[in-house]
Structure 1
């Protein structure tokens, strides 16, 4: 009987130590942050932004309120050179998956699909094309959120710096 009680205590202690070690390892893994995973760079309207995979400039921004919806229409000139793994999807050439409207303390929304200036949607082949193009992106958010923000809204474009998704550059343009 004495041997059985000692064995139970030893096994219980070993099990407790293993659980503590597992929890500590999980805590460390979850809370480990790379030194600088995201670098934010601000740019201005009509400023040419260059990266390894895409060059772009915002040429026009229009905002309007329709009912309880605030619409932001962004016109860009862009030229993609290679897939940039937008939206953390390897080989993805669709920059729409990497851009969104940031409204401080409100909802952040992605764009509708990339459109031509006449409203037609770009085909997959056009999106993947390396030719320079002019594209329109439409964002919506609740008008109340947009009105009550305490800092400027911004257009953000998150571009991975590598295909391992260990670092990113977030290009941001403040909207008035």
Structure 2
């Protein structure tokens, strides 16, 4: 929807407190009254943006989870390919970056959205990711005691070396995504790789 896309850009660029409904309406090419009629006031519009972005981000994550390695010949290559998919289609796509930026900037004003986001977005997906890591551990590919912890650390590690000086709406290059994924997976496997006996 044009209004949500315009609001998303304006909120990221200017902040919720600064941007006006008039500016969003102008950017969307609609009247101020159309914004109010379809989505309500600015707080309601912000909530609609968060819901829209989390819905799309969660759908992207579910699509990427299908590619999680199963009985891989080379665990490092398989996890790196999976990590590149996560970065490319979830964490570094425009919706993922927008969501992180908005929550960093606005969470103190809208603390309830943190709870809604965790419940509606990644919060419900963590058990699925952890379940995949638990399966790899059960099959002997990884040495993991706490699959949920391993999943969280995997996600943190593959994001650790992403460039962060390009702004919230600029996607890192494919080379940067592959480099971050590769370094993150290497570190992850040093901690959680199957021990040789």
Do they superpose with TM above 0.5?
no
Give the TM-score taking structure 2 as reference length: 0.26
Question: Which has the larger helix fraction?
Answer: 2
Rg larger in structure: 1
Question: Which has the larger strand fraction?
Answer: 1
Higher relative contact order (CA 8 A, sep 6+): 1
